Structure 1
Amino acid sequence: MISLDEAVTARLESHGARFEVLVDPDAALTIKRGEFEGDLEDVIAAEDVFENASRGDRPAESDVEEVFGTTEPLEIIPEVIQEGEIQITAEQRREMQEQKRRQLINTIARNAINPQMDGAPHPPDRIESALEETDFRIDPMEPVESQIDEALDALRPVIPIRFEEVTMAAQIPAEHAGSAQAQIRQFGDLVREEWQNDGSWIGVVEFPAGLQNDFYELVSEQSGGEGETKKVRDEEDIRTR
């Protein structure tokens, strides 16, 4: 379960009665869209149905039975969310908006590059500053993923930006290859790998372009600074690495 501080109220009024439940705001939105796949008990603050959640008042059992055909909270809670309205305070809205703004900025930073700077990533601070120059405002009630395209449209007149994946090759000396290759192959999608006669390892990995600096740091850290990296532009690059 979640804490009361994290929860929002979903309210349904029916048959002259009011029913309220306490639920995680993001989970409430996925439940409302019919996309929730988790465990309901993990995203609610109380396994209960209220008439007034802030006071802890409960509706008459006869009203609950009449409207829902059951008194089982775990069966009722999704219906209240799906059929009712999600109530959030101004403070909750601000907190949700800020949280999703940070998620949006980080998502864009992980995936976007500057096409005018040979595919260099944009730091989060630059994306944040550029967003502040636009009219774009994050909607706290919508998933971040559904707002990315609109945010990119707003950013393009301010900074050169596009989403892209890169393919990088890393060569790790034999003394570090065992542990390093395990970390590198998990960084993205492993395109191919080769073990050389001297025991060194070459791996080719594809991942979001905005993570290039993280990749360089990982290779350096895992190889004791002795690893080499190269951006792979075509199949010939892979063969000649």
Structure 2
Amino acid sequence: MGKTVTAKYSDGKDSFEILVDADMAYEYVTGKRKEPLSVLEAEQVFKDARKGERQSDEKIKKVFGTTDLASVVDQILKKGDLPITTEQRAKMLEEKRKQIIDIIARNSIDPRTNAPATALRVENAMKEAKVSIDPFKNANEQVEAVVKKISMLLPIKFTNIKIEVIIPADSVNRCYNTLKQFGLKSEEWMSNGSLKAVVEFPAGMQNELYDKLNKATQGRVETKILG
């Protein structure tokens, strides 16, 4: 068992505190642990954990919308104050930064060239713009602010792309699941056994599609951007 710490949440009037295992709580907020109750050292919500004073169910219900302990613990850990070490904070920050970069790179293009905004270009723009990341805030919720901050260095456009692909007959079985993963919209079987298909997916992922299909067909796939 690791060190016990107090995670706290306040609505400005009342305090809501839980006693948690520091390492397990860190695993939970970083997504490595799924069950919120597993991090608790005591299955209680306190108004003052040090004094052992329990918070009332009425106030818990008013602030969190429920008295279900798992839901309340989840909200306190994700919205409240969880003491973490400097090392844990640095690790969380790096993981969240990578998540944001991945979201932007996979879903966007540079409108000047219509080419994907690669992860490296996004990362470099974030460094140059000195973008600040909140390690506790959801990555998706931070994307808009990050894009706004780097837009002068790297214009970003979020859009889908539609691509027609022709897969040789002997490679269809190896490629079909990939086409489904990338949003298969239509398919047409040609007289020679080849498959003509249309896929639609976030524009930033087009290089990933090309790489997978080229590998599966030994470079014999034909592609055409439809829009």
Task: Give TM-score, length-normalised by structure 1.
Answer: 0.70
Q: Distance in 2 between matches of 1:11 and 1:203?
A: 53
- Rounded to whole Å, the distance in 1 between the matches of 2:176 and 2:16 is 61
Does residue 111 (structure 1) correspond to residue 129 (structure 2)? The answer is no
Instruction: State the AA in 1 paired with 2:211.
Output: E
Cα–Cα, structure 1 residues 145 and 9, in superposed 2: closer, same or farther, change >3 Å? farther
Question: Where does residue 7 of structure 2 map in the other structure?
Answer: 10
Q: In structure 2, do the counterparts of structure 1 residues 230 and 149 end up closer, same or farther at CA, with 3 Å as the change threshold?
A: same
User: Would you say how many aligned residue pairs link Structure 1 and Structure 2?
Assistant: 207
Where structure 1 has 5 or more consecutive residues not aligned to the other structure, the ranges are 31-39, 52-56, 234-241
Structure 2 residue 168 is matched with structure 1 residue 168: no
| Map of 1:20 onto structure 2 | 19
* 2:94 equivalent to 1:101: no
Cα offset, 1:196, TM superposition: 0.8
Matched, 1:209 2:203: yes
2:132 aligns with: 137
Q: In the TM superposition, what is the alpha-carbon distance from 1:136 to its structure 2 partner?
A: 2.2
Change in Cα spacing, 1:199 to 1:24, as seen in structure 2 (3 Å) is: farther
Paired residue type of 2:157: R
1:85-106 C-alpha deviation (Å, 9 max, x unpaired): 4323233222211110011111
Q: Distance in 2 between matches of 1:79 and 1:108?
A: 31
Matched to 1:91, the amino acid is: E
Cα distance change, pair 101–16 in 1 and its aligned pair in 2 (3 A): closer
Residue 222 of structure 1 corresponds to which residue in structure 2? 216
Aligned letter for 1:86? D
1:28 Cα deviation from its structure 2 partner: 5.2
Q: Structure 1 residues 189-198 or 171-180, which shifts more?
A: 171-180
Q: Which runs of 5 or more structure 2 residues have no equivalent in the other structure?
A: 59-66
Q: Which residue of 2 aligns with 1:42?
A: 35
TM-score normalised to the size of structure 2? 0.74
Pick from 162, 187, 191 the counterpart of residue 193 of structure 1: 187
Q: Deviations over 1:207-239 (max 9, x none)?
A: 111111111111111212211111112xxxxxx
Quick one: which amino acid aligns to residue 121 of structure 1? P
% same residue: 29
Q: Deviations over 1:42-98 (max 9, x none)?
A: 3455453189xxxxx9986xx55x8569xxxx9545435546843232332222111
Alignment check: 8 A CA contact 2:36 2:74 kept:
no
